[in-house]
Amino acid sequence: MNHKAIIFLADGMADDPLDELGGRTPLEYAETPGMDTIAREGSSGTFLTLPEGLPTSSDVANMSVLGFRPEKNYPGRGPIEAVAQGIELGPDDVAWRCNLVYASNDGVLRDYSAGHISEADASALMAALQKELGGPEVTFYPGVSYRNLLVLHGKRFSPRVNYFKPDSSQDMPLDELRLSPADSSAEAADTVAFLRDLEERAASLLAAHPVNAGKASPANRIWPWSPGRRPRLPAFGVQYPGRTGAVISAVDVIRGIGRCSGMSVIDVPGATGFLDTNYKGKADAALAAIDKYDLVYLHLEAIDECSHMGDLKLKLRAIAEFDRFIVSPVLAALADRKDINFAILPDHPVPIRLRKHTTTPVPVAAMGPGFARDGVTAFSERLAPSGALGHLDGDALVRRLLEL
């Protein structure tokens, strides 16, 4: 029997026990009746989503959850997001994620998101960068808020460059965060020199731009990272023969993984990647999609953002809202369907104390026709390891969900 599946992906949800929550984790503390139902009525386990030797980033983690084996297939985040935006990369192009960030005058990176810069302000700045600094070798592309793209064109450029992830590098001096060549090629050295110069020219332009005037966290630097060439991911319908999948997400990284692998990317108006997202629109989109596709991947970014901000109250709210407005209503609407498996998991932890991703295996729970009760009573970091699923890796989760 071929079953369908919905994966609820709570970006950055896993955390550590916190004194101020009486020794509970945010997931244990927040009201999550929907997630707990999945654990109670089904099976729990753990999943190593950030394999050693790769960036500890959401693109790697979400590729892992979908079974696309980043240790073999990871192209870099720049190219994934470029594909998400419909940018055609040529054979000599190197695509970079290009954050707009705030660095203080004393040369310290203060905010990887430039105060979660608005869409309008970010696109004005990206347009100014393109107008003044773009050319035959450089194109700036606006994305969503601080998450923008930079493409370098030409054989002189290489993606073999070491970089720092901006959301993991806050409050560190820029001097310790410089790009450096990752191999001894002339191209890698040339790319680093070119980008360092571009960063400084961009900083001069941004400092003087009226959009930044009077801001507490002005977008006064660009931050190129996670470069790569044209991506090639396994096709979903080949990896899971004959089956179809769709992703629902506000952020380009997830949409890009979907597009690169031939999954459908479903647009939801008002999906923002933050707490003001259109929860109901995403739940409705999942309910419509499950009739058409075998796997629906419903991703929520807001929890990750609140964790990087180090704001516990907001993180608790984002977890509770994900459950109240998405997980619980979707489970309720599909309560009579006997052909659908449901899974809940984060892509990686973002402990609120550290404000960055860690590689600890995440908790996962799944219920439906393919999963028996295992005695685990709630969805949490603490209880999941004792569940019947054991430790998952590779494409085991999606295979079990689709019963391949």
Q: Which is nearer to Zn ion, 12 or 231 (CB)?
A: 12
φ, ψ (nearest 5 deg) of residue 22: 65, 35
Give the residue with the Cβ less far from Zn ion, 140 or 274: 274
Query: What b/e sequence results for 36-47 when a residue is b if at least 16 CB atoms lie within 10 Å of its CB, and e otherwise?
Result: bbbbbbbbbbbb
Per CB under 5 A, which region of 128-136, 242-250, 273-281, 342-350 contacts Zn ion? 342-350
Alpha carbons 365 and 266: distance in angstroms, whole number: 24
Q: Binding marks (x or -) toward Zn ion, 268..307, rule CB under 5 A?
A: ------------------------------------x---
Q: In sequence order, what are the beta bridge partners of 349?
A: 13, 14
In angstroms, give the least distance from the CB of 169 to Zn ion.
Answer: 16
Residue from 85, 56, 57, 228 nearest 144 by CA: 85
For residue 304, which amino acid is it?
Answer: D
The token pair at 279 is 């929860």
* Closest of 273, 219, 213 to residue 111, by C-alpha: 219
Which of 4/348 has CB closer to Zn ion? 348
By beta-carbon proximity to Zn ion, the closer residue of 48 and 333 is 48
- Taking the C-alpha atoms of residue 368 and residue 318, their distance in angstroms, rounded to an integer, is 25
Using Cβ positions, the residue closest to Zn ion within the complex turns out to be 58
* Choice from 28, 93, 252, 347 touching Zn ion (CB under 5 A): 347
Q: Give the total of residues touching Zn ion (CB under 5 A).
A: 5
For the CB of residue 356, give the shortest distance to Zn ion in the complex, in Å: 11
Alpha-helical regions (H) of 176-234: 186-207
Shortest Å, Cβ 268 to Zn ion: 19
CB of 276 to Zn ion, least distance (A): 19
In terms of DSSP bridges, do strands 264-266 and 245-248 run parallel, antiparallel, or are they unpaired? Answer: parallel
58 binds Zn ion (CB under 5 A): yes
Q: How far is the CB of 295 from Zn ion (least distance, A)?
A: 19
Least separation in angstroms between CB 193 and Zn ion? 32
DSSP SS3 for 402:
helix
Contacts of residue 176, defined as CB under 8 A and 6 or more positions apart, other chains included, come to none
Partners of 390 in the β-ladder: 45
Q: Between 227 and 349, whose beta carbon lies closer to Zn ion?
A: 349
CA distance 172 to 192: 20
Stretch that binds Zn ion, among 55-63, 208-216, 234-242, 261-269 (CB under 5 A): 55-63
Residue closer to Zn ion by CB (options 59, 121) is: 59
Is the Cβ of residue 56 or residue 261 nearer to Zn ion in the bound state?
56
| Among 50-58, 77-85, 213-221, 358-366, the segment contacting Zn ion (CB under 5 A) | 50-58
Of 12 and 227, CB closest to Zn ion: 12
DSSP structure class, residue 233: P
Q: Which two tokens stand for residue 273?
A: 């990647």
Are 332 and 298 in contact by the 8 Å Cβ rule? The answer is no
Q: Residue 11 or residue 81: which is nearer to Zn ion going by CB?
A: 11
**In angstroms, what is the minimal distance from the CB of 205 to Zn ion?**
31
Of 180-239, binders to Zn ion (CB under 5 A) are none
Q: Which residues bind Zn ion (CB under 5 A)?
A: 11-12, 58, 304, 347
